[in-house]
Amino acid sequence: MNASSRIALVTGATRGIGLHTVRQLAEAGVHTLLAGRDQGRAVEAALALQADGLPVESIALDVTDADTIAAAVAQVEARHGRLDILVNNAGIGLDDRSLSPSQQTLDTWRKTFETNVFGLVAVTQAFLPLLRKSAAGRIVNVSSLLGSVALHTQPGSPIYDIKLPAYDVSKSAVNAWTVHLAYELRDTAIRVNTIHPGYVKTDMNAGEGELEIADGAKTSVALALAGDDAPNGSFRYFDEVLPW
């Protein structure tokens, strides 16, 4: 499917990795919907990309608000009739690093899962009918290496001593959801994958990452644009397949 004829939507896209994902998809010729819960910020970000000559439009979408999800689906259907690419990028991290796993509050768990898991599932379920209308639908779920249960149990792994339980477990849940949805859609033209963006310099880690933000978008974009040989149900970082 020609990139210039594709329609993509990226959640949580007003800044950071999401914004760079929008830019890179648009630079590839994809008409990209920049989704954000703050409509004003989404419009501002889209206008800046449009000023660079990129095919971007804004759309209001709060992944924790069923009404805005439904409105976004209706808007995409009315304007475009289908969706070819969905990048579930929106996510939060609320764990208190000074507390042990058992000390994190239930409120932290609930708020984290509301966005990172329930919001992601809700958006995917809502847009799936439009993705089924695509000749080659792609769903990319932004996870994290911190969602790898295997690496959390492996002494000496890059994440063995990093325990942010609500965030980590929410990303493990995203990985499991990806596997289940990929199985459901295995006989369709839709491919579903989850990615680790890398240790990126974002607001979430106070800029302590190793990669520039633009590099953190590259794995999502590669899978979003993957052709007929696209993987299905995989967990990836660039070309590397990661352990669940």
Q: Are 211 and 154 in contact, with CB atoms under 8 Å apart?
A: no
Determine which one of 111, 133, 171, 199 is catalytic: 171
Bridge partners of residue 8, in order along the sequence: 32, 85
Shortest CA distance to 146 belongs to which of 205, 191, 187, 102? 205
3-state helix, strand, coil in the chain (%, to 5): 45, 15, 40
- 155: how many CB neighbours lie within 10 A of its CB? 6
For residues 82 and 102, give the distance between their C-alpha atoms in angstroms, rounded to a whole number. Answer: 44
For residues 82 and 80, give the distance between their C-alpha atoms in angstroms, rounded to a whole number. Answer: 6
Active site residue 160: no
Active site residue 111: no
Determine which one of 111, 160, 167, 201 is catalytic: 167
Rounded CA Rg of the chain: 17
Shortest CA distance to 231 belongs to which of 180, 198, 189, 192? 192
Q: Are 36 and 45 in contact, with CB atoms under 8 Å apart?
A: yes
Which of the residues are catalytic?
A: 167, 171
